[in-house]
Structure 1
Amino acid sequence: MSDIISSVARALDVLLYINGREEPVGISTISKDMGVYKSTIFRTLATLESRKFVQQDPESGKYTLGVGLFSMANKIKLYDVFKPFAKTLCEEFGEAVNVSVLDGSNSGPYKSVIVVKEEKKNSVLSVSPKIGTSMDCYCSSVGKCLLAFSNDIERDTLRQYEFVQFTPKTIQGVEALLEQMATIRRDGYALDDEEQEIGLTCVGVPILDRDGHAIAAMSISGPTQRIRSHNVETIVNRLKEVSREISALV
């Protein structure tokens, strides 16, 4: 198949090979069993290790699967936990519900990634990103919750944002963002009050682990008039209630 990228396929084959071994395995054995040059296996493992998909025992030099894969597996399980809650909220308010997680793996600024989405078939939102969509955190309610309640956010990374002004209400600059993050930590929720699009409002809350750090964030989004008619305080209280229920399960 011409669309297959050989280096990606090789990396996946190495992961599958290591997964099939009961004991840690060395480069020479992998090279021999897979019929691939040792230098190629070495580079592949180095790349996988840089992303924590494999880990090397410092004494034996042999490899096992890394924590990055276990983290991904745990998140997949978490997404299954999120789904019924998102569906319930969508049916209750008749508005779009998104659950997002923080992506800080790249060298660029922090982004939020949608992992669960529920919306009515007749939704009229002009901004309706799909699952897997990533966006800068500074202008979304879920993104700001993730920044405010994560324990390893670096100010230098926040400065990498371009702070594109989508509307006159879009937040501008790191200091303004830090000030909002402090308010969000105090109040326990965040708003995207027409910061991405005039006429669209999102209300978000963090989903916290036992240490009070965000593992995800959940939002209800809709036309500004409808969100206001629901009453923002009512939405916030319901989201917090659901967040607490999810936190008790994970």
Structure 2
Amino acid sequence: MSKKANPTYSAPALEKGLDIIELLSKEEIGLTQSEIARALDRSVGEIFRMLMVLQSRGYVAQDPVSDRYALTTYIFEIAHRIPTVGRLTAAAEPLMRDVTRATNQSVHLAILADESILVVGQTNPPGNNILSVRLGAKIDLWQASSGRVILAFHSADEVTELLKKVPLPADYNNEKIRTELADIHSNGFEVRDSFVVKGVVNIAVPIIDHSGRAAAALTMPHIERFGEKITFEQCRVELIKTAATLSKNLGGKPPGIS
């Protein structure tokens, strides 16, 4: 662990907490409390207090069988959340305005946060009749088209971890959700009936970043109006084009979709 030789300011408690985080970041199976104390040349009492705070804040978790402490994914989320949101919303806002005007449909931008889907952007068309999702809304991971298309472009290990933490809907099992995620990955988008509003069909497309993972998703909760001149297929194509442009702006390669 790198440390400054002569720090201008000292915060011993903070340093102990950071030492634990840095130590655990190198351990695949975690460490027990006594192992951490020995590695950091600290007393067990000091380490216990730090671990309790880190655990209560969600940075570490203790395995109930082995008593080993390991880092959670929380630090990963923090490291990517704010910069991603800032970049995403800045890049997405004008594109989202364009696609809502072109399709006369609402569009929202969502990311994965705290094992849920968080809506970080929302644009509405100029018409009188709209369907929108509240900005800042948190939605159940497995019952959101945004969540499904994001996880379709995450690793199998990440999906496994979330399956352990977030219960599936009553009519789902692990095999079924994995099959559907594989289909989404193959297609590059998802079209399905809304989980919450009857008669609404969701079109959801991933936003791919430079690493090849889905950083976010654009979702259009499509509503059918009498006398609508813009077809559903036109809406699908326009949303896919918008997501592809946004992915490229983030340095990502859009999935090969038609």
TM-score (norm 2): 0.62
Q: What's the % identity of the aligned pairs?
A: 15
Report what 1:130 is aligned to: 134
Shift of 1:88: 1.2
Give the match for residue 167 of structure 2. Answer: 161
Structure 2 counterpart of 1:96: 106
Q: 2:54 corresponds to which letter in structure 1? A: A
Structure 2 gap ranges (5+): 1-6, 16-45, 61-74, 251-258
Tell me the residue number matched to 2:151: 147
User: May I ask how many residue pairs the two structures share in their alignment?
Assistant: 196
How well do the aligned residues superpose, as a CA RMSD in angstroms? 3.6
Distance 1:216 1:68, change over 3 A: closer
**Corresponding residue for 1:71?**
80
Structure 2 CA distance for aligned equivalents of residues 43 and 175 of structure 1? 36
Are the structure 2 counterparts of residues 44 and 172 from structure 1 closer, same or farther at C-alpha, using a change threshold of 3 Å? closer
Letter in 1 for 2:195: E
**What is the CA–CA distance in structure 2 between the aligned matches of 1:94 and 1:154, rounded to whole Å?**
38
- How far off is 1:231 after superposition? 3.5
Distance 2:233 2:83 in 1: 32
Q: What stretches of structure 1 of length at least 5 have no aligned partner? A: 1-20, 30-37, 53-65, 165-170
Give the TM-score normalised by structure 1.
0.63
Q: Alignment partner of 1:154: what SS? A: helix
Cα distance in 2 between the residues matched to 1:141 and 1:68: 20
Contact 1:140 1:196 in 2 (8 A): no
Give the residue type in structure 1 aligned to 2:84.
Answer: K
Contact 1:86 1:118 in 2 (8 A): yes
User: Where in structure 1 do 4 or more consecutive aligned residues deviate above 4 Å?
Assistant: 21-25, 41-45, 47-50, 66-70
Deviation at 1:148, TM superposition (A): 0.7
Deviations 1:209-230 (A, max 9, x none): 123210000011232467x964
1:46-61 equivalences in 2 (<5 Å): 46=54, 50-51=58-59
* Conserved 8 A contact 2:199-2:223: yes
